[in-house]
Structures are given as structure tokens and as C-alpha cells.
Structure 1
Amino acid sequence: MSLHPPAPSGFAETVDAWAQTVRAVADLGRTMRPEHATLDTDCPGWTVFDQIAHVASAEAMVAGEPVPEVDVSGHAYVRNDFGARLEKLVASRRGRDLEDLLDELEWRLEERLGVYRADDVTGEEPVEGPFGPTTLADLVATRTFDVWMHEQDIREALERPGDLDTAAAAVSVSRLFAVLPRAAARDAQVPPGHAVVLDLTGPTVGRAGVRVEEQDGRPRGIPLFTGGTDEHPDVVTTTLSMSTRVAMRLAGGRRDPDDLPVTVVGDDEVARRVLQALAFTP
């Protein structure tokens, strides 16, 4: 896997990446026209206002705010318990003034920075993450990915592209690259003897690849470009080239692959399956 700019390698740098994308969400909210808050976004059921409410409320949840008792059963886009928790937090903030919501987001940013940048915090502290026990460093990286994806949702709705080459963008792309072996072998069911290369043309430039082998009767994705020297059989390679924006719209399940520009060299059916399987967000 190669990536430029690279994803942050330390906890302090990850905190900086998280803070930058949260500030970007707040800045977009402060500088848009008030009526733009009601624009629909690529997240089903969520407006621009709802996106900002999600970022603010998710950070509040990390800080310990309990999930409110709100009935969200009437929303068809809420598909599981995790989605219901997030929807309840957003729903509890609907009806508030946009400026008040942005005040909350900016206050929460500073409050969290005070925690993350404290002298005795290393990032190795055990915490409860959205999917179970983890470390503080991994939690902040997960929050960075989530906020950046929603920043891009807001930018798409406002038609204000940007921040596709930031450290937060690199964190997000690295998450996509990390799931590529599973996506190709398990979700896309790429046959053994095939390889898939994902080539991002920028602004965050990167390349990741996987070859599929049969091991113990099951297909397994083996990462490429790791620097290893092990011999392996020849494979049929399919290369998918696309921009950072396109790759991450696919990763978030925000757009159908047929609606986005992707250059395919190789097996069209393998490409179709992999593009569908790139959506890995819950």
C-alpha cells in the first residue's frame, strides 16, 4: 500500500487531523447560507443540518452524553441498533437554531482537545468505542474517518469541494485500503487466481492491491505492495482507477458505482463486484 500524503503515524498527529476536519464542518456551517441547512445530502434521510448535528452529537456521545429516548422507528433508513442510536442523537437536536448547534460543535471540539492533548494522555488508554473496547488512539482515528466522510457529504450538498488531500483524508483512504482484501475475497467473491488493484489518482494519491488465493477451502485476500518477496502463482489483474472523491463516495455507500467515473482495465465482472463491495461503512 502506498499513500500520499501519508496517514498520521502518531496519536498527536491523528488528533490534529480530527480537529482539522471538525473545524472544517463548523466553518462550512458558519459560511453557508441559512437556507442551505435544509439541503438533502447523500446520507439517506439527513440534511446538511442533520450532518452537523451528527458530528456534534457523536462527539458528545464520546464525551459521555447518554443516548436520549427518542422514537426513530418511523425512519426506513435506520437499519440497525447502531443506526438507531445515532439517529436518536440527531433527532434530539432537530428544531434547534443552526448557530446554537454550531456553538455546541465548536465548544465540544475545544473540550475534547483539552482531553486528547493533556500531558498524561498517550493514546494507549483503553476506552469503549462504538463497536466495543478499543484504545483512545483508535477511537480518535475512527472519529476522524467518520467526521471527514460527513464533511464530504456537506461539501457535496453545498457544491463546495475541498479537503481531499488533508491528513483526515489520508486516514479515511487508509481505512478503505485496509478493508480491500476482505472486500475482494469475501464480499465481492473474486475468484482465486485473480488480483485487484485500486489506484487513486488524487488529490490523495495511493495504490493498494490484493490477490485472492484459496486457503483451507476458502478464498483469502492477500495484500499486494507490502514489500514481501514470497513467490506466488501468476494472477489475472483488474485495475480500478478513480479519484479520491469517487473512491470515498463508494466507500461510504453514498453513490452507485454506475453513477461515478471509474476506469477499468481487466475483467469487467470482477470490477463490477469489487466496486459494489467497496461500501464498508455501517
Structure 2
Amino acid sequence: MSLHPTLQPYADAWNHSIDAISELVNPLAEAEWNRRTPCPGWSVRDVVSHVIGLDCEMLGDPRPIHTLPRDLFHVTNEAQRYMEMQVDVRRHHTAPEMTSELEYTVIRRNRQIRNESRQPDTVVRGPMGKEITLELAMRMRAFDVWVHEQDLRTALGRPGNLDSPGALVTRDLLLAGLPKVVAKEAEAPRSSAIVFDVHGPVEFLRTIRVDIQGRGTLETAPALGPAASFSLDWETYFRLACGRISAEKAGDSIKAEGDPELTAAILRNFAVTP
């Protein structure tokens, strides 16, 4: 049996981004692995360590037995502590050690994906031991690897792939979290609509409608007389939604109209990643 058609787009997106990451880091000198990335607290080495670590977990490898230092100030909750374990255990690895492990992990994952015959709704072990479907696990890997590819591109001054297969997976995943941002976190008024107009390599127009019960839904139809509207480019949108920049840092890249308190609350709660 071959990979289920539902899973193929996520496999393709993961493969595209992981190849890009390999291409970015293979020629790096030792010092360049220490460059700071937009991912809070993480260097180039740390981002690659995270990518390797989570793909090893997808392979079923045991997690490292390791004690985290107490001075990691960017680690503030249990989810971050979980993710940091795979990173900190590799913090003193050399450039050849990093590229070799990345290459070996990619070879193993490609073999796993080629031989994957399970159904999308098969329950697998996800991060932090949570049971999730295989489809969600592969979607999250495609999303995670693309976002970290962009972290590396920013750190290394090598922009690109803003409209790659992983970008489209990321768009859909971030949009799925937008109703919660607007309706629950920002507490938009009931029976209101909020419009997001995103331009650039990935373009879309979406409306979040908040019903009388305060629940938000995502719609493709534009709204007349929205309570608030936002216009921004794709790169700013995903960096904001992934917690890479603040609304203040984005500055004029975001054009917001409507109730100032509402627009501020939405932007303040825009990040949907842990």
C-alpha cells in the first residue's frame, strides 16, 4: 500500500522544507550555527536540533534522558520544557555532528513515509505523550518544519519559499486558530464580523463572524460594515501568528481599522503557537 492521498500533501510539504533546511545548513561554518533566530531563545543549532528531535519522535525513538539547566529564561511552561529537551541535549554538538544527524534522520523519515500504509485517523503518540491522529501529526510536522525553515532563512539572510507547499499548510493551520483569537481571546462583540485581508506570496481574504453565543467561525465571504478589519502581508501575518514578532515591531506593515480597543486586543492575542 502507498501513502493515503489525504496525507500526501503533508508529506510533500515536509519533504520540501526539510530539503531546504538541509541545503541551508550544510555549508555553514561552525560560528554560523550560533546565530540567533526569530524563535525566542533559539540559535540556528537549536532550531535544527528541534527539527531533528521531533522527527526522531515521529520515528518512535525514545526521548533523551537529560536534565535541563535552570537558567533557560525562555522556558516558562511545561510545553516549552518538553520541546527544550531535544534542543539542549544537542547544544554542544559540532557542525558535522548536526549535519550528519540531520541527514540520517531525513533518510529514516523518508523511508518511514514511503512505507506508511496506515489510515489518516489512526491514533499515534504526539508531542507530550498526547494521542492524536496520524493526519494531525503529519500536518503539524509540515507546519513546524516550514516555520522553522523560515526562522533559519531569517537568521541566515536567505529569504525564500514563502509560497511553498509548507506555506499553504501553515496558512490553513493558522486560519483554523483565528476564530479562537477573535472570539475568545480578544472577546470581540457578539454578532460582529472581523475581516483579514492578506496579500503577498500567499493571498487570502477571510472573515471571522462572532455569533450571538460568542462563538467565532471562519468564512471566505467578505463582511459589510465589519467591527474591525486588518490588511497585512503574508510574511507579517505568519510571523505574528507564530509569535516571531509583536504588533509593535510589525509597525506599519499592519493596517488596522475599526474599534481601537478591539484591534489592539486581537493583535495582542494573535499568536496561536505555544
Is 1:130 aligned to 2:110, yes or no?
Answer: no
SS in 2 for 1:156: helix
Pairwise CA RMSD: 2.1
Match of 1:240 in 2: 230
Is 1:162 aligned to 2:180, yes or no?
Answer: no
Equivalence map 1:1-282=2 (5 Å): 10-72=6-68, 73-118=70-115, 120-130=117-127, 132-215=130-213, 219-225=214-220, 236-260=226-250, 261-282=253-274
SS in 1 for 2:210: strand
Residue 33 of structure 1 deviates from its aligned partner by: 4.1
Deviations 1:141-170 (A, max 9, x none): 101111111111111111211111011011
Structure 2 CA distance for aligned equivalents of residues 120 and 27 of structure 1: 29
**More divergent stretch after superposition (9-18 vs 19-28):** 9-18
Name structure 2 gaps, 5 residues minimum: none
**Equivalent residues of 1:176, 1:278 under 8 A apart:** no
Q: Percent identity?
A: 31
**Equivalent residues of 1:200, 1:207 under 8 A apart:** yes
**More divergent stretch after superposition (250-259 vs 72-81):** 72-81
Q: Which runs of 4+ in 1 moved over 6 A?
A: none
Residue 87 of structure 1 deviates from its aligned partner by: 0.9
Q: Residue type matched to 2:168 in 1?
A: A
Residue 10 of structure 1 deviates from its aligned partner by: 2.4
Structure 2 CA distance for aligned equivalents of residues 33 and 241 of structure 1: 39
Structure 1 residues 45 and 119, CA gap change in structure 2 (3 angstroms): closer
Name structure 1 gaps, 5 residues minimum: 1-8
Deviations 1:162-220 (A, max 9, x none): 111011011111111111111101001111243111221021112221122231xxx21
Q: Residue type matched to 2:21 in 1?
A: V
Structure 1 CA distance for aligned equivalents of residues 170 and 217 of structure 2: 21
Q: Residue type matched to 1:264 in 2?
A: A
**Equivalent residues of 1:23, 1:106 under 8 A apart:** no
Deviations 1:103-155 (A, max 9, x none): 21122122112122226344333211126222212101101111111111111
**Equivalent residues of 1:193, 1:235 under 8 A apart:** no
**Equivalent residues of 2:29, 2:95 under 8 A apart:** no
SS in 1 for 2:190: coil
